[in-house]
Amino acid sequence: MAMNVGGDADDEIISTINTTPLVDVMLVLLIIFLITIPVVTTSVKVDLPKEKNLIRETKPENVIISVNAAGNIFLYDTPVKNSTDLIARMKTFAVKEPQPEVQIRGDAKSDFEAVGRVMYAVQRAGITKVGFITEPN
- In percent, the amount of the chain with pLDDT more than 70 equals 81
Distance CA 99, CA 125 (A): 12
Interval 54-75: pLDDT, tens: 666 566 688 999 999 888 999 9
Is 63-132 assigned to CATH 3.30.420.270? yes
Interval 79-95: pLDDT, tens: 998 889 999 999 999 99
Burial class (CB in 10 A: 0-12, 13-18, 19+), 111: middle
Strands lying side by side in the sheet with 130-132: 78-79, 73-75, 63-67, 102-106, 130-132
Give the residue extent of every domain in the chain: 63-132
Give every CB contact of residue 97 below 8 A, 6+ residues apart in sequence.
Answer: 57
Q: Which residues pair with 123 in a beta bridge?
A: none
